[in-house]
Amino acid sequence: MRRGLVAALACVFGALGCTNASNTNPPLPPTGNGGVGPGIGGSIVPPPPPSGEVVVEIQEPTDGLVAPAGSLVDVRVHAYVDQATGTDFIDTTSVEAVVTKAGDTAELESTQLAPQGLDIFSGRISLGDRPTGDYTLTVSAISSGGIRGVSAPVTFKIDAGPILLVTSPKPLHAYKGLLVIEVVADPGPFEPLEGPFAKVANYDVALTPVGDPANHVYRGMIDLRDPQPPMILPPLVDEQLLTVWATNANGKRTEQHLVFFIDEEGPVFSMTSPAPGEIVGDIMVISARVLDPSGVLDSSVIAVIGDDTRPAIFNIQLKPNGAGVYSTFFDTRKLTGCNDPPKRSDLCIVYPTISFRASDELGNERAIGYSFSVDNIAPVADLDPPMIRSFRQEDTLVCSWEFDPLGRNSLIGDMPNDTHHVAQVFDLRARIQDDGNHAVGLKLTPISEVDPAKTSVYVLDDESKALIVDTDGDGWCDSINPLLTPTTEPPTSNDQVLKVRLAPVPPAGGANFMADGSLTSPFCRDGDDPAPPLLLCPGHQPTIAIGYYDGLLPAIWTVEHIDAGNWCFGQQFDTFANNISEGWACIAVATSDNADNFSVSPPLRVDIEYKYAGGWGSAGRGTPPACTGTYDRVNKTVTNGPCKTRRFERQANVWDEYCYLRNCPGPFLPL
């Protein structure tokens, strides 16, 4: 009865939780700050003590501190709870020191202070790379009851050292001769200034005040070519380090480092074209990569071309292409009086000298020079070259039998000569050798070699038309008739000309050095081999494939396919399969070297009879066609008529008749 009355009163006054009248459970005990609840195991948990005032007193540093920038400052504080106002304690993880700019609240640096005992906390705070100025330090702490206290601010100064600004030299710029070092050096609030000082490559350079002292400008100079006093160092060149420093009254040192270049030399050339010894012709590209740390003066980049005996005759401006490359085009035909075909009276430049010259923005100049080779003369192609002999060295010079370099000249399917009667199928080959600029005393003519991609044989079925023509009126055939349409398929009209690619036959084999009763040469005697050499491949082919240029380059070219077995001299040409009708046909070779010098061979005129049963060497029927003419560029017409072509002609001496083993001479200059 008494317990129910107490619960009812508690419910009315809010001291206890109320339960439903029908609930027979006892009332809940009081909880929170207003009562005492059950603890662990049913014990009673007392309320926390009242929070007191948090007091933070900075003992170190003190007002007026001057600290160097980048240093660590010791901080020591006394942080506690005033026991007169509360009984709680300082949370040891909450004591934090903060640096701010004077008059600002933005936090610049902060650190936590560690307890040292007896309410003492200490630590070190980094000032960072702060500029000279006034700063404040405050320390805060939080009590276990959640009350935060903040110390009175301590005002101090950061000394970042003197202000240094290098105005000369400029970073990464290049200099020569006299180097001027100019520095602005201001001690700031901590006078006097000691310095500034400067050093280049461990060489001290004295700096002295210039002008109004209020401007704080200091200047010094060093003769990069002859420093005084003399340096016990290598000459100052290329990349160098300038170090400037000064110290204020607090001993705070400021340094500035700057990299610059000393450039006493002109630009550097690389990737030059033409390269030393390179063989060029026609239109060539002159180019070079030109670099300099001071910057290249674009207008100064030139190439000078001359020869070894005369002053420079061409000054050629090279244009910048970017990435340090300069280039232009040059027509090598301007260099020489060489004609193509050449004349015995020509005076040709063979090894001209090219020099590249340039200067940098500082006026340093550089030039490099060397020789290269010029080839203005086209290859010589001949479908009916003269007979030749091979010789070798024994006790004396021994000569072979005379032979045709293109065939064995005995069966109807062998390579025909001009105006021959031929059957449906026959060998089709040419002797092709590149030529170059000639000069008296020249031991080896520089040639750019025959270009296989531009070497083909042309077969014209219509004997009334010219196959090769003179296009410039000089009397020399120099082109395939431009009114004809080349085709790589069997021609279907008289305006088409069959074009068949030629390929080189690798030099191989040897000539017949058996006794030759017909030899009457004073140059050599008969050979004495007991048997003729083996054939290079089946099919009644020659025993030797000649070469030139020390026997390394092929002199025989033929229609494909070529292999080392059955077709070492190439396959034969089938007139019927290529729709070349019976009767007279004109055949000529067009070729070019790698310097783009172009030429055509003399025409080979053959009389085709598919079922011809005669022997090799028979003359064709009727009158052979001329196969030559003159092209009028204005009217675009061709008039049939004679024009000359280069070929392998007999000369006034015997050398053109003889090959040393497989290495054959020529082509010689035209007679």
Question: Residue 51's pLDDT is what?
Answer: 78
Residue 181 has a pLDDT of 94
Across 539-543, average pLDDT: 93
Please check the confidence at residue 606 and state whether its pLDDT lies above 90.
yes
CA 427/CA 414 separation, integer angstroms: 5
- Checking if the pLDDT of 572 tops 60, the result is yes
Query: What CA–CA distances, in Å, run from 25 to 18, 493, 592?
Result: 11, 125, 120
Which of 37-51, 339-353, 363-377, 577-591 bottoms out in mean pLDDT, i.e. has the lowest? 37-51
Q: What is the pLDDT of residue 18?
A: 41
Query: What are the strands, taking DSSP E only, across 602-668?
Result: 604-608, 628-632, 637-640, 658-660
CA distance 469 to 642: 9
Residues 216, 207 contacting (CB under 8 angstroms): no
**What is the overall mean pLDDT for the chain?**
89
Distance (Å, rounded) from C-alpha 300 to C-alpha 357?
7
User: What pLDDT score was predicted for residue 289?
Assistant: 97
User: Which residue, 329, 341, 270, 271, is CA-closest to 305?
Assistant: 329
pLDDT at 234: 67
Between 140 and 88, whose confidence is greater? 140
Task: Using the predicted structure, report yes or no on whether residue 649 has a pLDDT greater than 80.
Answer: yes
| % residues pLDDT > 70 (the chain) | 90
- Assess whether pLDDT exceeds 60 at residue 316: yes
Which two structure tokens, joined as six digits, stand for 480? 């395939």
Q: What are phi and psi of 548, to 5 degrees?
A: -150, 180
**For residue 8, what pLDDT is reported?**
39
> What distances in angstroms separate CA 70 from CA 19, 131, 254, 609, one per listed residue?
69, 10, 12, 105
Handedness of CA 89, 91, 94, 99 (dihedral sign): positive
- The tokens describing 384, both together, are 């009916």
Helical H segments across 14-76, by residue range: none
Q: Token pair of 27, please?
A: 């009332």
pLDDT range class, residue 671, cuts 50, 70, 90: low
Per the confidence metrics, is the pTM higher than 0.75? Answer: no
Residue 96 one-letter amino acid:
E
Query: DSSP secondary-structure letter at 654?
Result: S
What is the DSSP track for 125-174?
Answer: EE--SPPSEEEEEEEEEEBTTS-EEEPPPEEEEEE---EEEEEESPTT-E
pLDDT at 229 over 80: no
Q: At 3, which helix (H) or strand (E)? A: helix 2-13
Domains and CATH numbers, the chain: 2-45 (no CATH), 54-159 (2.60.40.10), 163-262 (2.60.40.10), 268-374 (2.60.40.1220), 378-435+447-671 (no CATH)
The set of residues, in sequence order, having a beta carbon less than 8 Å from that of 147 and lying 6+ positions away, is: 51, 52, 53, 54, 81, 86, 88
**Residue 231 has what pLDDT?**
60
Confidence at residue 310, expressed as pLDDT on a 0 to 100 scale? 59
Cα(187)–Cα(195) distance, integer angstroms: 10
What is the pLDDT at residue 25? 41
Q: Convert the pLDDT of each residue in 456-510 to its tens digit.
A: 999 999 999 999 999 999 999 999 999 999 999 999 999 999 999 999 999 999 9
| Amino acid present at 212 | D
DSSP output for 79-138: EEE-TTT----B-TT--EEEEEETT---EEEEEEPEEEETTEEEEEEE--SPPSEEEEEE
Contact (Cβ atoms closer than 8 angstroms) between residue 133 and residue 101: yes
Cβ 208 vs Cβ 222: under 8 Å: no
Q: Which amino acid is at 168?
A: S
d(CA 399, CA 84): 134
80-89, 103-112, 482-491, 640-649, range with the lowest pLDDT: 80-89
pLDDT band at 640 (very low <50, low <70, confident <90, very high): very high
Q: How would residue 184 be classed by pLDDT, with cut points 50, 70 and 90?
A: very high
Buried b (16+ CB within 10 A) or exposed e, 306-327: bbeeeeeeeeeebeeeeebbbb
User: Regarding predicted confidence, which is higher, 225 or 165?
Assistant: 165
Burial degree of 13 (CB within 10 A; 0-12, 13-18, 19+): exposed
Q: Is the peptide bond before 267 cis (omega within 30 degrees of 0)?
A: no
State the pLDDT at residue 84. 81
Which residue do the tokens 């066609």 mark?
625
227-231-232 Cα angle (round to 5) = 165
Confidence of residue 49 (pLDDT cuts 50, 70, 90): low
Question: Which pLDDT band, with edges at 50, 70 and 90, does 232 fall under?
Answer: low
Instruction: Give the model's pLDDT for residue 546.
Output: 97
CA distance 264 to 285: 30
Q: What is the pLDDT of residue 230?
A: 66
Neighbouring CB atoms inside 10 A of 430's CB total 27
pLDDT at 307: 59
Residue 651 reports pLDDT greater than 60: yes
How does residue 545 score in pLDDT terms, banded at 50, 70 and 90?
very high
Q: Which residue is it, tokens 């005759």?
A: 313
Residue 499 DSSP symbol: E
Which pLDDT score is estimated for 233? 61
Percent of the chain with pLDDT over 90: 73
Quick check: 379 pLDDT over 60? Answer: yes
Give tens-digit pLDDT for 251-302: 999 999 999 988 888 999 999 999 999 999 889 999 999 999 889 999 999 9
| For residues 317-341, average pLDDT | 90
pLDDT at position 346 is 84
Mean pLDDT on 33-59: 66
Q: Give DSSP secondary structure letters for 235-292.
A: ---EEEEEEEEEE-TT--EEEEEEEEEE--S-PEEEEEESPTT-EE-SEEEEEEEEE-
Provide the pLDDT for residue 47: 61
Q: Which residues contact 357 (CB under 8 A, 6 or more apart)?
A: 300, 301, 302, 303, 304, 365, 366, 367
For 455, phi and psi rounded to 5 degrees? -125, 115
Is the Cα dihedral 412, 415, 420, 421 positive or negative? positive
Calculate the CA 161 to chain-centre distance: 48
Distance of CA 55 to the CA centre of its chain: 73
